[in-house]
Amino acid sequence: MTHFSKRLFVVSFLGTLFYLSCLLQWMWATLPYLPGIVRLAEILRRPVNTPAPTQEITSSGPPSLLLLIIAFAATAAIIGVTLYVLIKFPVAIAKSGQKMTQRASSFIVPAITHHTKLPEKKRQRLTARVIVYIKLGVCVVPIILSACTYFLEVEIGYDIIMIVAATLAIGTLLLLGAQLSFAKWLKVKSSKIW
């Protein structure tokens, strides 16, 4: 049986919020580029000039009891699946974010040390530092993408794009700072941080 650690939960919760904030930040940064991508897809797509068949819908009265039961069961199933996804989605994002940063640091640390053997404690400290830099990079790149929209013709004003991007970046950086501060204050191992 695994032991539940409140300290690890607090740090992991902040990490989950950080990754969700990063996801939101990246979505906002790529939003201005979507119309250009859609236009490119329309250019590449060949038009097909076949008209769709039309059918006339006729009403035969009120729905039967069986149809109502099936509709109610389908609605309940959709609500259940939605609640399950809303609960599992943030944790899945955080765990996959942790795996990606850990994997990236496992490639970067040997390159930094020129493949020399380090003591375990120094290697862990260097890995933790590299992961922080990776997380900072993940926060900064969407700001650069948003700043590049200055050269695009977009329907949203450049000022609005940058204000929202900066606000999201500040929130993401605050969450990262809170996670790292709580991890240090609560003495959570850096290898367990999401």
| pLDDT one-digit tens code per residue, 68-100 | 788 888 888 988 888 888 778 777 877 787 788
- Answering whether pTM is above 0.75, one says no
- So what's the pLDDT on residue 53? 65
Would the pLDDT of 30 be above 70?
A: yes
Tokens standing for residue 186? 């609560």
Give the confidence band of 188 by pLDDT, cuts at 50, 70, 90: confident
Mean pLDDT of 22-51: 80
Least confident stretch, 44-48, 93-97, 103-107: 44-48
pLDDT tens by residue, 116-158: 888 888 888 888 888 889 999 999 999 999 999 898 888 888 9
Mean pLDDT of 5-13: 85
Mean pLDDT of 51-55: 65
Give the confidence band of 181 by pLDDT, cuts at 50, 70, 90: very high
- So what's the pLDDT on residue 103? 86
For residues 39 and 79, the model is more confident at: 79
The set of long-range contacts for 139-144, using a CB threshold of 8 Å and a minimum separation of 24, is 139/22, 139/25, 139/169, 139/172, 139/173, 139/176, 140/169, 141/29, 142/25, 142/26, 142/28, 142/29, 142/168, 142/169, 143/29, 143/169
